[in-house]
Structure 1
Amino acid sequence: MGIGGEAQPDRARLLNVSDDVAAWVGEALGVHPDDPAPFVRALTHSSHAVGQAGGSYERLEFLGDRVLGLVMAEWLWEAFPDEPEGQLSRRFNALVTGAVCAEVARGIGATAYVRLGKQARDDGAQHGDNLLGDVMEALLGALYRTAGLEAARAAVRRLWADRIHADDSAPQHPKSALQEWAAANRRGVPAYSIVDRSGPGHAPRFTIRAAVGTDEVTAEGTSKQEAETAAARALLDILREQPATRRKRRR
């Protein structure tokens, strides 16, 4: 009785989780899964997966990253038929970043369904770009496995629709833009260095310094890449606001 009595609530709780996730997936991704287990896994962080059946989202994230890449490349190729490869690559790189995937995940309400260990949740890992970006890719991997490429394509095109045409010109990554500005103004190559790394392994915070000559700025992010991008963007804004006479004296 004791064993059966303890197992029953666990089984019921798992069924409730699956039902909730299935309903949410139907609304968020446009497909109501017959088997919600892959989507539950896509929402499960390794801190929760220890000792649990099904494992974490990591393998589905690996797959979903490739699915997103293929669908996005195909979409850009169709949407911008006159653009050369370089401009298409700029658009692609701007649309598949972890930060953008995290924004999409927040937009569909994934934060409420992420499954974390207690410490990770207490640390706020469910709100970080790193985790939410991974979850979004894992969800696309689960969608591809359960419903096929067409369903994944439809979901990406719907969820990224406001972003693909957000800028008439191909966006340029802030680090590339900073490097081009520095070269055009004879200021040397931008340098990046880690000032600080804090937080637990599942929710790190990086502080990065970006410098061009004597001008520098620091910025934070949940990954080294995110912090470098933020620092490059902030420094570029500062440099562009400098009076032209000051830039000339530096040459």
Structure 2
Amino acid sequence: MNYKIGLKLWSLNENYIVPAIDLFEREVYDYIELYAVPNSLEMLPKWKTLAKEHKIKFAIHAPHFSSGLDFSNPNKLKHNLMLCDEVKRYSNELEALYTVFHPGIGGSLNESIRQMKMVQNLKFAMENKPYIVPMNSGEAFCIGADFNSIARILDEVGCEFCLDAGHALCSANYQGLNPYEYIAKLNELNPKIYHISDNDENAKLDAHMHFGDGSIDLARVLKLLRGGEFLAIETIKDSKENLDDFAVDCKNLRELA
């Protein structure tokens, strides 16, 4: 496998630090993609210790809609930029391999582009989204869920691209497109980063199933994800004490490649 494999953790996941060190030393994965939970900077020194003492590399995933960052909402501009400042702290102090943002949910593409262009002094990538996400009031439409919107963001913002294969499959199913052909088309946008998990092949809503628990043809997907450098595994964690399920997912993924 030509990718560097990433372990997805949250900045508050102190409970996974010891097993993460163990799996890294066993060369199960190559880096940690850390979701920077808002107001969690007190945890940053613990992750810096992993970087310094254990030589673990980090990438950063910025907060998204569920954590309060929504570039598509003009009323949240000040709050969004405040959260971006926290993301910069994580990215700079951990010397991040990359930093990923979601474009937003429920607002306008123009506003997402406007606000993303305001993120200064930080090289980042945008991640494609499913077409819809469930909300308390029903469903909301995502920014960056179709090819033309993604291409426009990349062009006008000047950022890199993170191709989430699971998001792409859900979006394609909603649009009535062949999901594998849609993933291949998105790969033409030269992503540097990939995210992957399993799901029902016909799903329209995102899930983060373990490999083999869904029906996606993962071997076929991996053949489509060519040209990027990083691949973060975004499957669920079954235990709060260990990362054994992640180790199994890594093994299964490597056997498919």
TM-score, normalised relative to structure 1:
0.19
* Structure with the larger strand share: 2
Higher helix share: 1
TM-score, structure 2 as length reference: 0.19
User: Which has the higher Rg, Structure 1 or Structure 2?
Assistant: 1
